[in-house]
Amino acid sequence: MPEGDSVHRAAARLHAALAGKPLTHADLRVPRFATADLTGRTTLGVTPRGKHLLARLEGGLTLHSHLGMDGTWNLFGPGEKWRGGPAFEIRAVLATADATAVGYRLPVLELLRTADEARAVGHLGPDLLGPDWDQTRAAANLLADPGRPLGEALLDQRNLAGIGNIYKCELCFLAQVTPWTPVGALPDPETTLPRVAAAAQRLLAANAGHGGSRNTTGIRRPGRELFVYGRARRPCLRCGTPVREAPQDGRPTYWCPGCQSGPVPDHPGR
């Protein structure tokens, strides 16, 4: 699933290609909006909100999309062959005289009034890469349900918007607790959770400009960019203990038994 930094990059690319230019062609391939005619409207801007993308159009309209597990917006020049999947996976096409944006496999695509954007994204917590970022409020949101496992709380976009499964695992490693540790059982949660929120914002901001390369260790060598994610049965970069993997809420979750304390599943997987 795309994380907040990759959605931020996608918004920047779309904004650079579309903003300030009238649409010469628009095709929304979802039944509810298939007849919507956006041709001639100027794209005012494309902005991310957590893992959501908001393309604001002239006339008070917003095209709201979410990338889900494997959705993507690809950009093509005039006459360039579209690549990104078969034609039946295309959900949206937005074209100007200079570029064409094609949305593949978008599980959420809706056209709404810009004044009603809160209906789509108003439930989200502070955006880790947005102007509304508020570390104190994010930490308070996480602590609001002290019995909830930290990994689940970090993925809940209502608490703070932008964390995906990779950062969930890496943040739990940095906090030295397993993802199944209840929020209220953290060592001094009132102090720890603001540090976790600050680390989340720092990591996403540091990776937002790196073109898809994600790094939490500071090591740029292949295979050593992340502390635990994707490293099942490989030695921990800190202590050498083999990293373990087990599902949490249906997602593969990684932790180091040597560096992270706290509960683990009864059947801990690999």
Q: Which residues are known to be catalytic? A: 2-3, 51, 251
Label the pairing between strands 108-113 and 61-66: antiparallel
DSSP 23-60: -SEEEE-SGGGTT---TTPBEEEEEEETTEEEEEETTT
Label the pairing between strands 43-49 and 52-57: antiparallel
Q: Which two tokens stand for residue 117?
A: 């954007």
* Angle between helices 4-18 and 189-207 in degrees, nearest 10: 40
Sequence-ordered alpha helix ranges (H) in the chain? 4-18, 118-121, 135-143, 150-155, 165-175, 189-207
Q: How far is CA 73 from CA 12, 54, 98, 204, 207, in A?
A: 11, 12, 16, 20, 19
The 3-state DSSP class for residue 116 equals: helix
